[in-house]
Amino acid sequence: MIRPARKTTPQSDADAQREPGAEGGSTRIHVSESQPVTLRAANADADNDATTTGAAPARPGRLVRFSRGLLKSLLPFAMIAAGVSGYKYLKATRPEIPKQPNMERAFAVDTVTAKRTSSQPLLTLYGTTVAGRQFDIRALVAGRIVKTHDELREGGRINAGETLLAIDSFEYVSARDEARAQRAETTARLTEQQASLKADQTSLEHAKAQLALAKADVDRAVELTSRGNLSERTLDDRRQIVLQRQQAADQLANSISVWEARIAQTRTTTQRLDVTIARAERRLEETELKAPFDAYVTEVTAQVGRITSINDKIATLIDRNWIEAQFSLTDSQFGRIVSGDGKLEGRPVEVRWTLGGETFTYPATITRIAARIASANGGIDVFARVLDPMKPVPLRPGAFVELSLADVLFDDVVRIPNPALYDGNTVYVVKDSRLDPRPVTVVGSNGSDLLVRADIADGEEIVTTRMSTPGKGVLVKRMPAAPEVGASADVPAGSIRQSRAP
């Protein structure tokens, strides 16, 4: 039994086929893949009807679908196999390409001729100038500043002995005059005491003479009394006179001792006043601050009218005739020079200061070595004093300078440009137009060139051109000398290809 199908297109109806069923003459509609979905739905309904009526579905339709799916699965593998077969065929039938001759590349290089010699290079060093002597000048007395030097300002130039500033001296003049007055008073008192002492000394001499006469009179009286010519009363009176004369002499002697003590005390007072006067005069002199040497002025704090106290900073003075260049030597440089010459002090140094595109040269001498090794770079700081920092132009502290210091004398060395050294220990010599590596030991430098010791004979050519892939046996061609202006070079710069038999 066939149910009515949905509306289809004419093409779909034409493609539909009927197939007799196994039982009851039932038919089934087979729809191709290109038919619309409505026919497929019709087939599904037909299968359902067949199942309902007890009829078995047709087996030939399932085999067709299975064959069609198997074909789709095997088709990609067949295409891959065909492609591989085609590639092998094309590869087997490709034409033979004629072989090109093997070309070896020859590198164009510059060379220098080796020459063994003795050399004493100059070390090129860099440093800064520093003040060899500077100090902070401070007020020695307190008071109001009443006068300052015209050059007492930042960057000013002061000559030795010039007055930097003056402090009000009224109090200090008064103290000096008062001390002088006390000294004069003490001197007058000392003169008075010395006169009194002299008078007592004269009186003592007279008293001693009177005492001697009184004693002689007593001796005569004793003799007369023993004879009976003089009474005992008279003898006692004369003895009383001797005692009185003795007492007067003793009083004068004591008075002289007192005067001598007073005079000594007055003299001590006089000496103390002399010190006071000297101190007052010193304080008076210190009201004027004078420059101790020719100096540059910096960090000025003093102004007219300012009240300053003792030890207040006035300015910083830098000795303009004592400028030093400070630079560093590496451990190897320091050890090499010291071991070769024994000491570093006293060696001459050339200092160069570039200013405004012009370079000025100053001779200098190494005077001292820093007490400590610089922990930042491991070098040793060295100081060289500039002999005349005022010529050709005044050299001030803080300038960046370049220095030249003679190194030790190196014997039996070869001088090569810096690009000629590879890996720090190898140079290449041209031998039969090929590179031959030679081990070297770098012992020093001279500007941009290196001093090396190596097994290199005089006259051998050392490659100076920097190569990316150097090695033993690499073919090279030496470049000719630079042509004159307008002349043409025989060989262009760059590499050259040279034919080599296979």
Same domain, 386 and 456: no
- Among the candidates 269, 285, 301, a domain finishes at 285
DSSP-assigned letter for residue 418: G
Domain assignment present for residue 197? The answer is yes
Same domain, 270 and 367: no
Which candidate, 311, 303, 282, 290, places its Cα nearest to that of 169? Answer: 282
Q: Give, for 164, the enclosing helix (H) or strand (E).
A: strand 163-167
Q: Report the range of poorest mean pLDDT among 71-75, 128-132, 173-177.
A: 71-75
Which candidate, 414, 444, 458, places its Cα nearest to that of 118? Answer: 414
Q: How far apart are CA 404 and CA 124, in angstroms?
A: 5
Same domain, 178 and 264: yes
What b/e readout covers 69-106, taking b as 16+ CB neighbours within 10 angstroms? eeeeeeeeeeeeeeeeeeeeeeeeeeeeeeeeeeeeeb
- The yes-or-no verdict on residue 151 having pLDDT over 60 is yes
Q: How many other CB atoms sit within 10 Å of the CB of residue 238?
A: 19
Tokens standing for residue 493: 């710069």
Which candidate, 306, 277, 295, places its Cα nearest to that of 139? Answer: 306
Q: Give, for 375, the enclosing helix (H) or strand (E).
A: none
Same domain, 329 and 385: yes
- What's residue 100's pLDDT? 64
Domain assignment present for residue 442? The answer is yes
- The yes-or-no verdict on residue 459 having pLDDT over 80 is yes
Do 426 and 394 meet the contact criterion of CB atoms below 8 Å apart?
A: no
Cis amide bond preceding 392, omega within 30: yes
Domain assignment present for residue 295? The answer is no
CATH number at residue 248: 1.10.287.620
- The yes-or-no verdict on residue 119 having pLDDT over 70 is yes
Q: How far apart are CA 261 and CA 198, in angstroms?
A: 14
Q: How many other CB atoms sit within 10 Å of the CB of residue 294?
A: 18
Q: Indicate the pTM of the whole model.
A: 0.58
Mean per-residue pLDDT over the chain, rounded: 82
The residue type of 92 is A
Tell me how many degrees the CA angle 355-359-362 measures, rounded to the nearest 5. 105
Question: Which residue is it, tokens 């700081």?
Answer: 381
In which band, very low, low, confident or very high, does the pLDDT at 90 lie, cut at 50, 70 and 90? confident
Domain assignment present for residue 39? The answer is yes
Q: How far apart are CA 252 and CA 260, in angstroms?
A: 12
Domain assignment present for residue 384? The answer is yes
Same domain, 352 and 441: no
Domain assignment present for residue 495? The answer is yes
Residue with the larger pLDDT of the pair 235 and 199: 199
Domain assignment present for residue 17? The answer is yes
- What's residue 10's pLDDT? 41
In which band, very low, low, confident or very high, does the pLDDT at 234 lie, cut at 50, 70 and 90? confident
Q: What total of structural domains would you count in the chain? A: 4
Q: How far apart are CA 419 and CA 422, in angstroms?
A: 8
Same domain, 174 and 259: yes
Q: Domain residues for 335?
A: 122-132+319-406
Report helix angle 170-227 to 232-285, nearest 10.
170
User: What average pLDDT does the segment 92-102 reach?
Assistant: 72
Same domain, 388 and 372: yes
Same domain, 11 and 41: yes
CATH number at residue 449: 2.40.420.20
- What's residue 354's pLDDT? 94
- Among the candidates 237, 261, 285, a domain finishes at 285
CATH number at residue 358: 2.40.30.170
Same domain, 180 and 231: yes
Domain assignment present for residue 70? The answer is no
Same domain, 398 and 415: no
- Ramachandran category for residue 305: left, alpha or beta (phi over 0 → left; psi -120 to 50 → alpha): left
Same domain, 401 and 415: no
Same domain, 477 and 400: no
Which candidate, 405, 397, 484, 411, places its Cα nearest to that of 452? Answer: 411
Residue with the larger pLDDT of the pair 502 and 51: 51
Q: How many other CB atoms sit within 10 Å of the CB of residue 382?
A: 26
Q: Report the range of poorest mean pLDDT among 249-253, 287-291, 376-380.
A: 376-380
- What's residue 263's pLDDT? 93
User: What average pLDDT does the segment 362-370 reach?
Assistant: 95
User: What average pLDDT does the segment 91-118 reach?
Assistant: 81
What b/e readout covers 123-154, taking b as 16+ CB neighbours within 10 angstroms? bebebebebbeeeebebbbbbebeebbebbee
Q: To the nearest whole percent, how much of the chain has pLDDT over 90?
A: 46
In which band, very low, low, confident or very high, does the pLDDT at 218 lie, cut at 50, 70 and 90? confident
- Among the candidates 406, 428, 460, a domain finishes at 406
Looking at the DSSP assignment, which residues form a beta bridge with residue 405? Answer: 123
